């Protein structure tokens, strides 16, 4: 069985089943082999029937009788009796009418399921059944459970995998032999076989260690190659003007924190080198990243160069432009700031492009449209990228081609990233952290609310609205969903605007609106033309509305810690106290994540806990996580991460020739291109 064979080559996989596999991204045998389990059920211990106790069990027995009947329209029950030398047990299946005739009497079966009380007797409901063999796939072992889709349960995925074990055994090695030996790793083929069909818990742990090591090793190697290439690029050495820095700081309406001073000095040292800077500054909401970036920009501008600040949305670009205008006005440099965004009229855009081209615009603020062909930034020395997490290789090369040199790159993020994750995902970047917040910044008061207390909460909110404050309402869904029990943005908007807050001005914002519509609605909220903004998570990053003091997060248990913390950072950004209300979907006790959110405003501590509870996808979302293929590695395993990163660096130091390892080369090349996580 070859890896590129279509999935339809497997027994039992016709066109209809193949379409279901396609939903999971599985089209070939190779795709199937690389489709790893999401969890496991341990049915490896075979129990005799005389010793049955309630819970998950595996038995070996023969079927002595099996009957099926419809008890009412749409409900079919199959009942069977299994027996061994010590006793018998009753088996029950719902809506599986084929079971009664499929079971072979007097044949030995493995039977796995949950032994539990049903009415007046104990039974095993919907057990997995498999004829006794040397290699069962769904019983009498640690059973892999996969992400499923309708009509394609894990049982069918396991059956298909059982047919390709020969191909798994012939998988070529993907790591250098020296690396495998140094770290005592099992072979790649053994690891993939064990991840699907582990013979024991110990073997599964070793398989996870091997595959997790490989994921971090490949990602680290890709990042290190990018970093080393970047270090060989020629940049611009920009000197530090101490007098100007002191003047700038002296005009600030606040005192810089020690963290801000330390990070600013790191930036100044980076920019004095002829090697281009590539640094990420991560700081919690309100930690003062913008003023740090402004001080770096000031040095480049003073030296006669240009700076580009790129934001993910036009609204954020406008907010940055306003902030920088205020920061630079005391120095008389506000006139050198220009804004270039999509909503400008054609003459305005032409004027901005002309100012950029002739150099009179020294600080250009906009979206990624700034690096388009029409924009001539040949004197560009510094790029500040806000909330993009990483400025990709291709974007840097585009700017290098424009300017004739590689600009310094400063990335900013308000997503607190645990150190282990930052080292792994951002290995090509130097990382600076702003951990403390400026003096006087009030922590957000966070409260978990039961749906039974909704009316009292609305009264509390209305009092604040009467005082002139504003409210964000964040919902996990745009529209109602049958499968998810959670209030949607559309439903809450309807209830607020026609019932609960009909005397208030209510707006609706979500991702399906056109960019211009989203911008208009958000601008109305900023201008205080709306009292309440009902939204999905599109308001998550960077939006600054100082008058918004309250946030209500609907179905709060559906949000990750890091995401919910980012959301509540949208309120309390002005002089008034901020409040965040975490509304539960039902009256059940709140989970550990919400309790942590209620008790702490420390984004870094919450990010560590989120990583521990839910994995890196909790911070970056499933698409980004999938791109990086961190499917096995636990980023809380700092020892494995450190070993894999060091091993990747050692291989590069030894002058590894990647082309000698085709699969590793292919994987690292792809990962080098995955450099933008947004």
User: pLDDT tens, 428-486?
Assistant: 678 888 888 777 678 899 999 999 999 999 999 999 999 999 999 999 888 766 456 67
pLDDT in tens, 273-318: 988 898 889 887 778 899 999 999 999 999 999 999 988 778 888 8
Supply the pLDDT for residue 330.
Answer: 94
Residue ranges per structural domain of the chain:
45-140, 242-272+288-413, 445-600
> Which residue has better confidence, 179 or 479?
179
Task: Say yes or no to pLDDT of 524 above 50.
Answer: yes
* Mean pLDDT calculated for residue range 218-240: 86
In which band, very low, low, confident or very high, does the pLDDT at 399 lie, cut at 50, 70 and 90? low
* Mean pLDDT calculated for residue range 654-671: 89
Supply the pLDDT for residue 391.
Answer: 53
* Mean pLDDT calculated for residue range 218-227: 87
Dihedral angle of Cα 379, 410, 284, 318, to the nearest 10 degrees: 20
What's the rounded Cα separation, in Å, for the pair 262 and 252?
A: 17
Task: Say yes or no to pLDDT of 245 above 90.
Answer: yes
Task: Say yes or no to pLDDT of 240 above 90.
Answer: yes
Supply the pLDDT for residue 625.
Answer: 39
Fold assignment, 445-600: Rossmann fold (3.40.50)
Q: How far apart are the first and last CA of the chain?
A: 38
Domains 242-272+288-413 and 445-600 in one fold: yes
Supply the pLDDT for residue 675.
Answer: 46
Strand 363-366 to 39-42 pairing: unpaired
Q: What is the mean pLDDT of the chain?
A: 87
Supply the pLDDT for residue 591.
Answer: 80
CA atoms within 13 A on the CB side of 478: 6
CB 523 within 8 A of CB 530: no
In which band, very low, low, confident or very high, does the pLDDT at 618 lie, cut at 50, 70 and 90? very low
Supply the pLDDT for residue 677.
Answer: 34
Supply the pLDDT for residue 436.
Answer: 80
pTM here?
A: 0.70
pLDDT in tens, 12-58: 999 999 999 999 999 999 999 999 998 999 999 999 999 999 999 99
Q: Which among 260-269, 317-326, 363-372, 512-521 has the top mean pLDDT?
A: 260-269
Q: Please give the angle made by the CA atoms of 160, 166 and 170, to the nearest 5 degrees.
A: 130
pLDDT in tens, 557-593: 888 787 888 888 888 877 889 999 999 988 777 788 8
In which band, very low, low, confident or very high, does the pLDDT at 226 lie, cut at 50, 70 and 90? confident
Supply the pLDDT for residue 456.
Answer: 95
Supply the pLDDT for residue 622.
Answer: 34
In which band, very low, low, confident or very high, does the pLDDT at 392 lie, cut at 50, 70 and 90? low
Supply the pLDDT for residue 53.
Answer: 93
Percent of the chain with pLDDT over 70: 91
Supply the pLDDT for residue 14.
Answer: 93
Percent of the chain with pLDDT over 90: 54
What's the rounded Cα separation, in Å, for the pair 406 and 399?
A: 7
Supply the pLDDT for residue 214.
Answer: 94
Task: Say yes or no to pLDDT of 239 above 50.
Answer: yes
Task: DSSP for 23-78, please give it.
Answer: HTT--BHHHHHT---SEEEE--SB--GGG--SEEEEEEEEEEEEEEEEEETTEEEE
CA neighbor of 78 nearest in space, from 90, 102, 94, 62: 94
Task: Say yes or no to pLDDT of 623 above 60.
Answer: no
CA atoms within 13 A on the CB side of 267: 32
Q: Which CATH architecture has domain 45-140?
A: Beta Barrel (2.40)
Cβ-based neighbours of 336, under 8 Å, separated by 6 or more: 301, 328, 360, 361, 362, 363
Supply the pLDDT for residue 297.
Answer: 96
Fold assignment, 242-272+288-413: Rossmann fold (3.40.50)
What's the rounded Cα separation, in Å, for the pair 299 and 280?
A: 18
Supply the pLDDT for residue 472.
Answer: 95
Q: Which two three-digit tokens encode residue 564? A: 């919910």
> Which residue has better confidence, 618 or 373?
373
Supply the pLDDT for residue 143.
Answer: 94
């Amino acid at each position: 069985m070859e890896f590129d064979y279509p999935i339809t080559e497997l027994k039992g996989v016709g066109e209809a089943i193949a379409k279901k596999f396609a939903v999971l991204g599985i089209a070939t045998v190779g795709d199937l082999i690389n489709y790893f389990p999401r969890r496991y059920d341990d049915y490896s211990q075979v129990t005799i029937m005389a010793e049955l106790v309630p819970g998950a069990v595996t038995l070996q027995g023969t079927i002595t009788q099996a009957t099926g009947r419809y008890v009412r329209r749409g409900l079919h029950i199959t009942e069977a009796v299994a027996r061994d030398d010590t006793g018998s047990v009753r088996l029950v299946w719902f809506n599986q009418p084929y079971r009664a005739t499929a079971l072979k009497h007097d044949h030995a079966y493995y039977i796995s399921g949950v032994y539990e009380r049903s009415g007046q007797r104990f039974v095993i409901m919907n057990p997995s059944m498999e004829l006794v063999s040397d290699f069962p796939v769904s019983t009498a072992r640690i059973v892999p459970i996969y992400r499923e889709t309708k009509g394609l349960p894990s049982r069918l995925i396991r059956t298909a995998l059982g047919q390709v074990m020969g191909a798994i055994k012939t998988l070529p090695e993907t790591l250098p032999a020296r690396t495998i030996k140094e770290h005592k790793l099992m072979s790649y083929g053994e690891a993939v076989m064990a991840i699907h069909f582990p013979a024991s818990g110990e073997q599964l742990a070793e398989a996870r260690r091997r595959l997790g090591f490989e994921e971090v090793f490949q990602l680290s190697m890709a990042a290190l190659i990018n970093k080393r290439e970047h270090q060989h690029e020629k940049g611009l050495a920009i000197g530090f003007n101490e007098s100007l820095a002191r003047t700038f700081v002296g005009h600030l309406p606040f005192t810089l924190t020690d963290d801000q001073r330390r990070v600013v000095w790191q930036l100044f040292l980076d920019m004095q080198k002829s090697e281009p800077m590539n640094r990420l500054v991560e700081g919690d909401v309100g930690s003062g990243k913008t003023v740090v970036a402004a001080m770096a920009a000031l040095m480049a501008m003073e030296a006669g160069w240009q700076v580009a600040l790129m934001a993910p949305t036009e609204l954020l670009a406008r907010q940055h432009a306003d902030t920088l205008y205020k920061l630079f006005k005391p120095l008389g440099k506000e006139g050198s700031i220009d804004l270039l965004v999509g909503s400008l009229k054609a003459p305005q855009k032409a004027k901005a492009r002309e100012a950029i081209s002739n150099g009179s615009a020294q600080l250009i603020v906009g979206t990624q449209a700034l690096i388009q062909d029409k924009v001539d930034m040949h004197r560009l020395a510094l790029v500040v990228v806000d909330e993009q997490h990483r400025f990709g290789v291709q974007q840097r090369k585009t700017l290098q081609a424009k300017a004739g040199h590689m600009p310094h790159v400063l990335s900013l993020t308000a997503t607190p990233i645990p150190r282990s994750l930052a080292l792994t995902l951002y290995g090509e970047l130097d990382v600076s952290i702003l951990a403390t917040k400026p003096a006087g910044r009030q922590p957000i008061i966070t409260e978990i609310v039961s749906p039974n207390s909704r009316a009292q909460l609305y009264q509390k909110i209305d009092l604040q609205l009467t005082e002139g404050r504003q409210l964000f309402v964040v919902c996990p869904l745009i529209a109602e969903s049958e499968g998810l029990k959670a209030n949607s943005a559309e439903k809450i908007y309807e209830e607020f605007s026609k019932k609960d807050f009909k005397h208030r001005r209510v707006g609706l914002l979500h991702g399906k609106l056109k960019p211009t519509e989203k911008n208009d609605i958000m601008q109305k909220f900023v201008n205080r033309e709306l009292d309440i903004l009902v939204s999905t998570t599109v308001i998550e990053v960077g939006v600054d509305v100082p008058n918004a003091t309250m946030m209500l997060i609907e179905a709060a248990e559906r949000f990750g810690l890091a995401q919910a913390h980012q959301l509540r950072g949208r309120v309390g950004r002005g002089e008034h106290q901020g409040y965040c209300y975490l509304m539960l979907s039902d009256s059940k006790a709140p989970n550990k994540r919400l309790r942590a959110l209620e008790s702490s405003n420390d984004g870094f501590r919450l990010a560590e806990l989120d990583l521990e509870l839910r994995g890196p996808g909790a911070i970056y979302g499933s698409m980004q996580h999938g791109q990086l293929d961190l499917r096995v590695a636990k980023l809380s395993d700092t020892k494995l991460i450190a070993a894999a990163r060091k091993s990747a660096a050692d291989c590069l130091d030894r002058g590894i020739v990647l082309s000698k390892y085709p699969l590793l080369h292919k994987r690292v090349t792809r990962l080098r291109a995955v450099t933008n996580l947004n």
